[in-house]
Chains A and B, each alone.
Chain A
């Protein structure tokens, strides 16, 4: 095989493997679940705030000035069983990635619990760049907000 032919063969193989890698990467999709405390009073300097882009999005929906990150966790969508995110004992969320149907995007069932009781449930379709905001209960002058982001 000539040098030109071998170079093309290497390029073709690299293309194939890059697509395989991309598909494998899709199998490890995750969603990040973050709980923010939104308020108009500036939190102390040691508190972690929402990233700038996310903050703009949150402001346009909720209108608060500051979004303090309380806790964040990552949920693997490949694990198709229920997974709990409990950043607070009085307000937490249960997620269950549903099995992926062929030629359809994956969906996730969610349930929101307040004071130990389920208050709402629904289905969410994770898309990169399209987060899900869940408006939570008030806390003093602030409010809890869940953000689910596809990774």
Chain B
């Protein structure tokens, strides 16, 4: 029985580790300025935790087999109530490991969340509602027009869905779309809002996730670094259509972005 436990615990350990190393399932390719640092922290954590995992499981398997009751052939047990030096040693070791990991990661967190977007960033407002995402661009005046809950009509889509006050001059040139267009290599200043319940804007490739909370306007920034189409998933349970609250980010060159925005403006006239 001891040998069976050893074999199974080791097998589970090695199979799990094999899939972590071979990684057929892994973080999707990172395409934002933040991705590299986040992935580095992830890899570092997983190597550190992986070593502890393999060591602890192997020791467990080994001990139950090695110290199995062999009847009269067994040595008498080591009558010991513990070892204070050892306790202090592994307390300090784990404390250093865990606090160290934490401090390493907090630099990245600070860069992502403490600093506001730069003044030249492109402002985009993201609005989540059951079960769609809308994206608003301020247009040539650089100002978002007013919105009002009283004007919100989700069934009419885009501008009406987010309750855009068309009477407000600043709203005249606002562009509202169902797909997020972003220029590559330019910082984007996102404002996240929600109309009804909590949603979460999750763009796996960009290592971006942030809840959109009713009553709050949450500012985040993000810099896409690669042209392409990337999927958005909702990551906060928002009702029966949660699994299909899906969207797209199209990252294009600044030139294509300007053309696209100009075409949308032209449609409005």
Q: Do A and B come from one complex?
A: no
